[in-house]
Amino acid sequence: MSDENNIIDLDQIDHTVFSNWPFSQDFCITCGLCASACPASGIDGFDPRKLIRMVALGLVDEVVEARWPWICTMCGKCESVCPMEIDIADVVRKVRSLRERAAVPGILHKGLEAALETGNNLRLPKDDYTFIIEDVAEEIAEEPGFENFKAPIDKKGARLLTTIHNKLVNTHTEDLKHWWKIFHVAGEDWTVPSENWEGTSWGYFTGDDEAMKIMAGRIVEHMQKLEIDTLLWPE
């Protein structure tokens, strides 16, 4: 790249760097539909179309060091409108995986670290978590038609295990009630885990496959211990 006019010399770039990625990024026709669907488009100049073109051109350092991949919410709206069916969110996650772990943006780095160490990014102690679950259940039981409601924790042999988004035991406990009321009315045989309960995959959002495997493995191991074969993972 020229320091004088900020022009990229395409002849000096190895265009095959990302060519073995199975995400169809080379099929981009720069139509802009992804940018129009993206809820984060325009933030700090973010444009998923530009990101895909940079990957297709082999601009390794520019892509990996950019802030853009970390602005993406991984919602997948861009993929749903892409006429070439490019796996844009997977491209973003792959780019994130190339960033040095210590250079991952603070909130994500800290969230992943906490989740690996404690089973949830809030570092919420098990006793506090249990108290919140039971407290929300008691509030539901005070409503007409739910007098006998209980929120089962680690119910062995239940049909369904459901994980919980961290915000639902923090600032949005009301949202827990909606899920649980549906289970109750439907007569579902369900339970929540006592540990490793967070449904948010911090490994996924930081592009850390190994961390993702560890956290998913913990949930599966807990399911096996409780003899449950169905998982509802809201995230």
Is the pTM higher than 0.75? The answer reads yes
54 token code pair:
């940079």
Domain ranges within the chain, ordered by starting residue:
10-99, 123-232
- Which residue, chain included where needed, has tokens 């369904």? 160
pLDDT tens string 159-201: 999 999 888 888 888 889 999 999 999 999 999 999 999 988 8
Q: Which fold has domain 10-99?
A: Fumarate Reductase Iron-sulfur Protein; Chain B, domain 2 (1.10.1060)
AA letter at 115: A
Take residue 190 and report the two structure tokens written for it: 């369900």
pLDDT tens-place string over residues 12-60: 556 566 666 777 888 889 999 999 999 999 998 889 999 898 888 888 8
The answer to whether residues 99 and 42 touch, using CB atoms and an 8 Å cutoff, is: no
